[in-house]
């Protein structure tokens, strides 16, 4: 074979090989482009929602204590001995009902003495009054009675009248003291404690007995006392309604309304004491029970409420991703309360903004969003 023919054959082989390689590369590029386009077409659309203002409602549970609406320890007013007890622990009593009688013989003697002094002073006053009246009548005849004698008689009458009033006051005092030998119920309630028996020596606290004779509690109406931390004070006001349960009745939910607020924070606990009246006609609840109180936390209706997954917590801050002109925009926000997988957010947001429902760092700021499906906020 001639050299020229050899060169021609080699050149032809190289050309065929180059054409084959070029055709293969073009085919692979076309396949890769089609693969990417197919993948992009197969990518699911991003879920988004239209931003609206809402109100986030939640609650916190705080322990409270049920106490009697009225409670009193009944002591003896005077030192005496218990004569008879008419009630016992668990007795339901009415206002004014006699609970116990006592005896103190020295009071009877004091009352008799006061009565005698009263009668004696009354006789002295009547005598001085009669003397003055006679002198006054006689003085109407000129020259019979001097003015000085008349003045002395009048002064004696006034002095004896004052002594009579003092004797009456002394008699009433002893009589009132004697009335303390009977103790009556000051209000309707139940006797929860009895600390003495018949024949016991009783008296004012520290003078005969340090323990009260009876403890009386009103049970058909109770007070629910709760200490509300400072952070939650704004959620409760007069007539706010709360629900509570107790350990002894876990399946029963009770309702109470705020009746009284202390109006000041405890200096040690930084909490406000709040009382709620609880009607307890069936007496299911007892004073001293610990209640679990659900305090409703109702937010402002001007806040934006979004699904918690729409909030992106990145190393750079907290954001929600808004869609503007088919582009993702990271909007810095501050979060508020959370409840039921929803979160309050505050930032540069407006009503009807389109927000990505599930935020992710893969959705870069200013990136183009081609496919989006706008649905409800749920």
Provide the CATH number for the domain around residue 159.
1.10.287
The residue from 212, 234, 266 where one domain ends is: 212
Provide the CATH number for the domain around residue 187.
2.40.50.100
Question: d(Cα 90, Cα 358) in Å, to the nearest integer?
Answer: 62
Residue with tokens 């924070």: 265
Could you tell me if 270 and 332 lie in one domain?
A: no
Could you tell me if 120 and 241 lie in one domain?
A: no
Could you tell me if 228 and 277 lie in one domain?
A: yes
Domain span at residue 285 reads 218-298
Could you tell me if 51 and 80 lie in one domain?
A: no
Could you tell me if 80 and 202 lie in one domain?
A: yes
Could you tell me if 319 and 195 lie in one domain?
A: no
Instruction: Determine the pLDDT at residue 14.
Output: 40
Instruction: Determine the pLDDT at residue 205.
Output: 64
pLDDT in tens, the chain (378 residues): 444 444 444 444 544 444 444 444 454 545 555 544 444 444 567 888 888 887 776 678 889 999 999 999 999 888 888 999 999 999 999 999 999 999 888 887 888 888 899 999 999 999 999 998 988 888 888 878 888 888 898 999 999 999 999 999 988 888 888 888 899 999 999 999 999 899 888 887 655 567 889 999 999 999 999 998 887 787 787 878 889 999 989 889 999 888 898 888 888 888 889 999 999 988 899 999 999 998 887 665 567 888 888 899 988 899 999 999 888 999 999 987 777 788 888 888 888 888 999 998 888 888 888 878 887 665
Could you tell me if 187 and 232 lie in one domain?
A: no
Provide the CATH number for the domain around residue 311.
2.40.420.20
Could you tell me if 358 and 306 lie in one domain?
A: yes
Q: What is the DSSP string of 296-358?
A: EEE--TTEEEEEGGGEEEETTEEEEEEEETTEEEEEEEEEEEEETTEEEEEES--TT-EEESS
How many structural domains is the chain composed of? 4
Could you tell me if 294 and 342 lie in one domain?
A: no
Domain-embedded: residue 254: yes
Instruction: Determine the pLDDT at residue 301.
Output: 59
At residue 82, φ and ψ (nearest 5 deg) are -70, 125
Provide the CATH number for the domain around residue 260.
2.40.30.170
The residue from 160, 179, 198 where one domain ends is: 179
The residue from 276, 298, 320 where one domain ends is: 298
Domain-embedded: residue 98: yes
Domain-embedded: residue 155: yes
Domain-embedded: residue 64: no
Domain-embedded: residue 16: no
- The residue among 326, 336, 320 whose CA lies nearest residue 370 is 326
Domain-embedded: residue 97: yes
Domain-embedded: residue 222: yes
Cβ pair 306, 52 in contact under 8 A: no
Could you tell me if 234 and 248 lie in one domain?
A: yes
Domain-embedded: residue 89: yes
Could you tell me if 92 and 194 lie in one domain?
A: yes
Question: d(Cα 302, Cα 52) in Å, to the nearest integer?
Answer: 9
Could you tell me if 159 and 173 lie in one domain?
A: yes
């Amino acid at each position: 074979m001639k050299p020229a023919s050899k060169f021609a054959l080699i050149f032809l082989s190289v050309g065929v090989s180059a054409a084959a390689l070029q055709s293969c590369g073009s085919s692979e590029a076309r396949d890769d482009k089609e693969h990417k386009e197919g993948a992009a077409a197969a990518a699911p659309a991003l879920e988004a929602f239209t931003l609206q203002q809402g109100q986030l409602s939640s609650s916190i549970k705080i322990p409270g204590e049920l106490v009697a609406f009225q409670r009193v320890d009944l002591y003896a007013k005077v030192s005496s001995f218990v004569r008879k007890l008419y009630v016992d622990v668990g007795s339901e009593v009415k206002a004014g009902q006699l609970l116990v009688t006592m005896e103190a013989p020295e009071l009877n003697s004091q009352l008799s003495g006061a009565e005698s002094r009263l009668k004696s002073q009354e006789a002295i006053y009547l005598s001085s009054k009669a003397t003055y009246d006679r002198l006054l009548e006689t003085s109407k005849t000129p020259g019979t009675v001097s003015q000085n004698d008349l003045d002395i008689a009048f002064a004696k009458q006034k002095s004896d009248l004052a002594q009579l009033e003092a004797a009456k006051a002394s008699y009433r005092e002893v009589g009132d003291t004697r009335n303390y030998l009977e103790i009556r119920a000051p209000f309707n309630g139940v006797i929860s404690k009895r600390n003495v028996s018949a024949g016991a020596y009783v008296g004012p606290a520290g003078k005969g007995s340090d323990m009260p004779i009876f403890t009386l509690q009103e049970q058909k109406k109770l007070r629910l006392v709760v200490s509300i931390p400072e952070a939650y004070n704004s959620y409760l006001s007069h007539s706010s309604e709360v629900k509570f349960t107790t350990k002894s009745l876990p399946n029963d939910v009770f309702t109470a309304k705020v009746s009284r607020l202390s109006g000041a924070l405890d200096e040690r606990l930084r909490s406000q004491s709040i009382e709620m009246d609880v009607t307890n006609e069936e007496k299911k609840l007892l004073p001293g029970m610990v209640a679990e109180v659900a305090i409703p936390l109702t937010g402002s209706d001007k806040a934006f409420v979004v699904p918690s997954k729409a909030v992106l917590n990145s190393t750079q801050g907290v954001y929600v991703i808004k869609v503007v002109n088919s582009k993702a925009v990271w909007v810095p926000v501050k979060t508020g309360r959370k409840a039921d997988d929803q979160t309050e957010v505050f930032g540069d947001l407006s009503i009807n903004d389109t927000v990505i429902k599930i935020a992710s760092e893969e959705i870069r700021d200013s990136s183009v969003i081609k496919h989006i499906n706008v649905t409800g906020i749920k």
